[in-house]
Structure 1
Amino acid sequence: MSDTAVLWCRRDLRLHDAPALTAAAEADRLLPVYCFDPRQYGERPFGGRDSFRYHKTGPHRVRFRREAVADLRARLRERDGDLVVRHGAPEAVLPELVAAVDADAVHFHTYPTPEEAGVEAAVEDAFRNRPVETTRHWGHTLYHLDDLPVPYTEIDDTYTPFRQRVESGPEPGDPLPVPTVPPTPDAVGESIPPGECPTPGELGVEPVEPDDRGVHPFPGGESAALDRLEAWIWEGDNLREYKQTRNGMLGPDYSAKVSPYLNEGCLSPRRVAAAVDRYETERVANDDTYWLVFELLWRDFFQFQFAKHGARFFERPGIRDRTDIDWRDPATDDDAAREFERWCDAETGVPFVDANLRELVATGYVSNRGRQNVASFLANDLRIDWRRGAAYFETHLVDYDPASNYGNWAYIAGVGNDSRNRSFDVLSQAERYDPEGEYVTHWLPELEPLPADAVHEPWTLSEREQAAYGVQLGLDYPEPVVDLRADRG
């Protein structure tokens, strides 16, 4: 008797190097399914102690995700397969489809954060008393769970020892090839309509198009991901100088710009590492070429850290249980609420911070250097509950990944994976990474009349100088929300 498998697609919107797909494709018939889970959209509670409400998924990620789902469907149809799309909770949708096609198995990729694991558990519970086998697969990191030299519960809580231990062991596996896709059950297109992606409005956002001022348009999908990897590494030959350019802030090629594809699963980290290996063999191997793999390992580190520590990462004291920090809560502190609103609105009066926040909201993307400074300003200069900023990033980032986002925010806030002070001197950072003010004036054109030595600190200008340049603080650009020079002593 032939068998039928259901593939529950999640943040794994690709055909290459997808263990769940590879296993499911061994069946005679295959029904891939993607669910737009309503719980991932609209305004939701953060949960836990000192909860607050925030918007889960903003317009940039909605656009990217809808394009990625459409691309996956197109790639499956090229192989005589299909993708069924539904707007509903997976634990409700999947049992109905499994029953409709009389499936024997459900395959899916597993993820380490409590929210994602909770949905997996609900899906498994839905099949507990049915003759259907559910199988989890790990497939979103460079080093898989079985590659680790120790159980994930015993990995180091700081990055360098983790990296050194992992790199001293076996190499990560090669990416899996695209399997032969079995035909979809006959019911698809007849009694089971494939369905369409919900509209942006149905997902709680206004439609948005890529902003021309952004560093990259980030079209969604595996096809765009593979094109970007090929163009950046081979056509642009950018890998040979990556370590030197990675702290850039303007232009498409200072970094690989593949994080949205990695985090939505359109691109496998093993596929990226394999491209680096081939580049090093065919062109050059140096510190720059290694650095992209170094950053993939940072991504791995946070995935395994969340598997180890779970929900503690989302608590205000963090995994280090830092109860000694007097966090300001916008829910109970009016001044903190006003300052947080100014931070969100890119009106802190600190140009380097505001420029990065404008880029984030306009494009869904901001450089790693910008993220660190924006996070440090909120957490270390304003001392506002760091989770508020992390949740704001969750809303807006096109490349949002829960482990990377909250792990990095906790790291900067001093409640995460490093005991050292991670406070950034935002003004020094601005002078170092944007010495001519090109980045700031790109996003804050109202400051273009200012000379380079004043663009990062316009409050240093006298009223006469402000009038001469046509930039009046409090009118054309805000007064700073905090005196950074005084804070730095």
Structure 2
Amino acid sequence: MALQIVWFRRDLRTTDHAALATAAARGPCLCLFVYEPEQLQAPDFDPIHLEFLNQSLASLDRRLQQLGNRLVLKIGRLPDIFAELHREFGISAIYGHEETGNWLSYQRDRRVRAWARASGIPCREFPGNGVVRRLASRDDWSAIWKQRMRQPVIPEPATVPPPPPHIRIPSIPLLTWQQAGLSAPRISPSQAGGREAAVEYLHSFLHSRGLHYRSEMSSPLTAAESCSRISPCLSFGCLSVREAVQAGRQRLLQLRHEQQLTHVDPAWFQSLASFESRLAWHCHFIQKLEDEPTIEFRNVNPAFDGLRENEFRQDHFEAWQQAVTGYPMVDACMRSLRAGAWINFRMRAMLMSFAAYHLWLHWRQPALHLARLFLDYEPGIHYCQCQMQSGVTGINAIRIYSPARQAADQDPNGDFIRKWVPELEGVPDEYLAEPHRMSRLQQDLFGCRIGRDYPAPIVHHETAFKTAQQRIFAARDSAIARCNAHKVYEKHGSRKRTMEQRTRNEG
């Protein structure tokens, strides 16, 4: 009897899982996850990702056992693992979800599909979120996303029939970082992986933590509690986007009903609207990588090729990595991120903007560094955002963040900076965002000598800001950049605003 394989990748759940539901309805299934050495050794992978992955795999296995099956773990290259299983047992079909991952996963999926065709094995992939494979036109994307989000969540199968008892397929234990050839984890993830944790994050956000989401998402002081924190759960597939969208809508209906009986804080309605908007935004950005996989390492607008590549300063890059730039808000955000593997979106944008504009670093190396730090690293969002914050798309507003202004707006009392940059604990609020402005006497008085206790700024803000602004707009205003920008917009641009509105300077 040949095997039906349910191939799990970044879809580690049993609910709203079209591949599992389809295969389970047709008969016995081998539920398989493969650790891939090329992914484990990739420059965007970190031991924190392995820990969250293992927690999610353990959760999935527990649930599959409750449904009468189990998760088989293998390690190796694909499609070689499939070929071995086919030689020994025979494979009747492979079921999985469409995945929009990094370039390695894109190449792997092409290999698997080619092998399956050559072997005469059906390989059926189902949409797993709002990303549309072979999208004909961006004009159609929003309607397709809305239609998919309206479809019912696919129920968990009542049972997942296992292979017959005489078919014994060995499974390896969860892979350790030593076995994966990784360095020891710097930290433990700030969030637990797995379905149970994902459901709890979503529930607590929708019923308590998310009340002030809209107003508190931008500050690192409040975002950790007020944001949903389901982003790693979506990245690893412990939750589906559709589940999150529909849970938000159900909560909205509940609140509207309660509003007829008692007072409901209106902030809930604003926050839930913002939450669904962010879920659509999530898929909107992944769609870009789906449509153009080379976004991971090539400028989406080639007119910007050569703009920064030959001016990369390793010393500036290392200072940014190590959080010793002399800009307290930048350093505090990087230190917080290194300690907890998460920081809110606005601060991510500031970190990338500072690297791209103040330090004039090409986006690729900073992007890889941040990918290793983000527990919720999602390639489709990540590389598109890194290019966007570096100004190389030609269709997005240029935003050059001022670290001092962000400190004033998002950390007005200096609590966040003092927590993560304790060298500045005694510095008064007036100088906290720019301690280099203190006189030598003040530095001694407040116990922080610039250049000894805390570094001097590695670049001068006004000079770096002005130079970057001049250079990026000069490149952007070239005829070839404008011509390419129209092509980029047609392929990737949001249809909510015109291109003219999108390219307005909002820096």
Q: Given the two structures, how large is their TM-score scaled by the length of structure 2?
A: 0.83
Mind listing any 5+ residue stretches in structure 2 that lack a counterpart?
257-267, 467-507
Q: In the alignment, what sits opposite 1:145?
A: 132
Q: In the alignment, what sits opposite 2:169?
A: 192
Q: In the alignment, what sits opposite 2:34?
A: 35
Q: Is contact 2:221–2:411 with CA below 8 Å preserved after alignment? A: no
Deviation of 1:118 (Å): 1.4
**1:482 aligns to 2:453 (yes or no):** no
**Change in CA separation of 1:63 and 1:367 when aligned onto 2, cut-off 3 Å:** same
Q: Is contact 1:351–1:455 with CA below 8 Å preserved after alignment? A: yes
1:384 partner SS = coil
Amino acid at match of 1:9: F
- Equivalents in 1 of 2:375, 2:297: separation in Å? 24
1:84 partner SS = strand
Deviation of 1:423 (Å): 1.9
1:454 partner SS = helix
Mind listing any 5+ residue stretches in structure 1 that lack a counterpart?
45-54, 212-216
Q: Is contact 1:4–1:101 with CA below 8 Å preserved after alignment? A: yes
Deviation of 1:452 (Å): 1.7
- The aligned length equals 452
- Equivalents in 2 of 1:153, 1:436: separation in Å? 50
Identity of aligned residues (%): 25
Superimposed CA distance per residue, residues 338-361 of structure 1 (whole angstroms, 9 cap, x where no aligned partner): 100111111111111111111222
Residue in structure 2 matching 1:473, options 437, 446, 450: 450
Q: Is contact 1:263–1:400 with CA below 8 Å preserved after alignment? A: yes
RMSD value, Cα: 2.4
- Equivalents in 2 of 1:253, 1:348: separation in Å? 27
Q: In the alignment, what sits opposite 1:50?
A: none
Q: Is contact 1:9–1:32 with CA below 8 Å preserved after alignment? A: yes
Q: In the alignment, what sits opposite 1:323?
A: 304
Amino acid at match of 1:273: V
Residue in structure 2 matching 1:308, options 291, 302, 307: 291
Q: In the alignment, what sits opposite 2:158?
A: 180
Superposed counterparts of 1:73-152, under 5 Å:
73-113=61-101, 114-139=103-128, 141=129, 143=130, 145=132, 152=135
**1:8 aligns to 2:7 (yes or no):** yes
Residue in structure 1 matching 2:53, options 65, 68, 72: 65
1:73 partner SS = helix
1:229 partner SS = helix
- Equivalents in 2 of 1:6, 1:170: separation in Å? 25
Q: Is contact 1:63–1:208 with CA below 8 Å preserved after alignment? A: no
Deviation of 1:176 (Å): 1.2
Deviation of 1:26 (Å): 2.0
Deviation of 1:266 (Å): 0.8
Q: Is contact 2:323–2:331 with CA below 8 Å preserved after alignment? A: yes
1:90 partner SS = coil
Amino acid at match of 1:288: S
Amino acid at match of 2:227: S
**Change in CA separation of 1:427 and 1:460 when aligned onto 2, cut-off 3 Å:** same
Q: In the alignment, what sits opposite 2:178?
A: 201
- Equivalents in 2 of 1:162, 1:422: separation in Å? 26
Amino acid at match of 1:154: S
**1:381 aligns to 2:381 (yes or no):** no
**Change in CA separation of 1:467 and 1:105 when aligned onto 2, cut-off 3 Å:** same
**Change in CA separation of 1:434 and 1:322 when aligned onto 2, cut-off 3 Å:** farther
Deviation of 1:249 (Å): 1.0
Superimposed CA distance per residue, residues 53-93 of structure 1 (whole angstroms, 9 cap, x where no aligned partner): xx331122121111111111111112221001112123111
More helix by share: 2
Deviation of 1:166 (Å): 6.2
Superposed counterparts of 1:84-483, under 5 Å:
84-113=72-101, 114-139=103-128, 141=129, 143=130, 145=132, 152-155=135-138, 172-186=150-164, 191-203=168-180, 204-207=182-185, 209-210=187-188, 217-234=190-207, 236=208, 238-250=209-221, 252-284=224-256, 286-311=269-294, 313-316=295-298, 318-323=299-304, 326-329=307-310, 333=312, 336-416=313-393, 418-483=395-460
- Equivalents in 1 of 2:173, 2:214: separation in Å? 42
**Change in CA separation of 1:105 and 1:428 when aligned onto 2, cut-off 3 Å:** same
Q: In the alignment, what sits opposite 1:49?
A: none
Q: Is contact 1:4–1:28 with CA below 8 Å preserved after alignment? A: no
**Change in CA separation of 1:452 and 1:325 when aligned onto 2, cut-off 3 Å:** farther
**Change in CA separation of 1:442 and 1:435 when aligned onto 2, cut-off 3 Å:** same
Deviation of 1:98 (Å): 3.8
1:183 partner SS = coil
Deviation of 1:296 (Å): 0.8
- Equivalents in 1 of 2:341, 2:334: separation in Å? 10
- Equivalents in 2 of 1:130, 1:168: separation in Å? 37
**Change in CA separation of 1:194 and 1:480 when aligned onto 2, cut-off 3 Å:** same
Superimposed CA distance per residue, residues 459-479 of structure 1 (whole angstroms, 9 cap, x where no aligned partner): 111111111111111221111
Superimposed CA distance per residue, residues 320-377 of structure 1 (whole angstroms, 9 cap, x where no aligned partner): 22337620447xx5xx011001111111111111111112222211111110000000
**Change in CA separation of 1:76 and 1:367 when aligned onto 2, cut-off 3 Å:** same
